Amino acid sequence: RASLEATYFVNAAGLFQLSAILEKLNSGKAAKGEFTTVTMPSGLIEGTETMFFYTLFIIFPEYLTMLYSIFGAGVVITILQRLFWASKSLPELGKQMYKSTDKKYKNLVVN
């Protein structure tokens, strides 16, 4: 149980950190027209999968250890997916933001 809880904390921290970065880079919910409060990079385990597993936890308590292990592995895969996504996407988004900021403030630079 402790390892499942630990994966939740790591997943939540990463998810909300990425969401904050995307909002700061103007690539968040407003840019994508999403209905959620913040942009959430997708992953293997999301809301529907979580509800499904919690239903299994309730229906099959005799298999909790196995179900926790499977679900925890899915959360770890989700964490890795988001890290991979961030390593590919954030540098490019940062470059785009820098270019737009550079153009916007070009006249303010003192030579």
pLDDT at 19: 77
Q: Does residue 75 carry a pLDDT above 80?
A: yes
Distance CA 14, CA 28 (A): 15
Mean pLDDT of the chain: 78
The tokens for 97 are: 């933001």
Q: Does residue 10 carry a pLDDT above 50?
A: yes
Q: Are 4 and 71 in contact (CB under 8 A)?
A: yes
* pTM for this prediction: 0.69
Residue 12's nearest CA partner among 40, 53, 49, 32 is 40
Average pLDDT over residues 83-101: 72
> Higher confidence at residue 67 or residue 107?
67
